[in-house]
Amino acid sequence: MKYIFGNWKMYLDFDESNILANALLQEKFDENNLKLAIFPSALAIREVIMAMENSAFSVGAQNVSWVEKGGYTGAISAQMFLNVGSEYALVGHSERRHIFGETDEDVRKKLQACLEIGLTPVLCIGEKKEEKDSGLRNTCLQRQLAVLAGLDLKNKEILIAYEPVWAIGTGNACDPVEAEQVHHWIKEELKKYSGQEIPILYGGSVKAENVISYVSLPAIDGVLVGGASAKFETFVSIIKKVEEII
């Protein structure tokens, strides 16, 4: 089983999101060997969920609040996303960390909120270029994974997305062999927090031309695609490429 998740970020408005969702519905995909999910904007998520009902695609939230409800202007809780049919939620994406100032404690609280209600979190981790160049990658990833300490992961579904910050949206994808080595390291580190197998996806400048070099490696369970997933031709090309080898 391979995972192909598409984070549409803020590339598409309401109408564009629905056009893309309905275009994807016209394609046939290998549902037996692929887990497909898309992450539209909060504005479009309800319409996309309704469109994707009984399709090959699950739908997830790009971000959640850890509080359930109350006087929190602009926030949307994990429970609210679950109530409208979301199955997944991205947590700790580097753009949330580095642009919006989210801390590891924020990430931990969001993870806990998702796990408690059955919304499957995708914990995003990754080092910046200066951390990689200084030999601090493992230290950075250890700190980001430490948010799992004390969380009840038994019989809970959770995924990890390794997205080196220096590779996101830059066109400078991580070398596949290097990425697999990092995935092996993450799998060992995760044993501190859970006895179950946790899927790990790679993200960072994934496109049709390089996706096979990642998903063909045993330690890489799939990909989290960014900008390329917000365009019909490029996203379908990525999925079809993966279908060729499964």
The active-site residue, picked from 95, 102, 131, 163, is 163
Please confirm, yes or no, whether 183 is among the known catalytic residues.
no
The active-site residue, picked from 93, 95, 102, 183, is 93
- Tell which residue, 157, 186, 196, has the closest CA to residue 60: 157
Please name every residue paired with 100 in a beta bridge, in sequence order, or none if there are none: none
Q: Are the beta carbons of 129 and 166 closer than 8 angstroms?
A: yes
CA 60/CA 57 separation, integer angstroms: 10
Interacting residues of 113 by C-beta distance below 8 A, sequence separation 6+ = 64, 65, 66, 67, 68, 77, 78, 79, 119
Please confirm, yes or no, whether 93 is among the known catalytic residues.
yes
Q: Are the beta carbons of 31 and 77 closer than 8 angstroms?
A: no
Phi, psi angles (nearest 5°) of residue 78: -55, -40
Question: 39 in helix, strand or coil?
Answer: strand
Amino acid making up residue 51: A
DSSP per-residue string spanning 73-126: TT--BHHHHHHTT--EEEES-HHHHHTT---HHHHHHHHHHHHHHTPEEEEEE-
Which sequence positions are flagged as catalytic?
93, 163
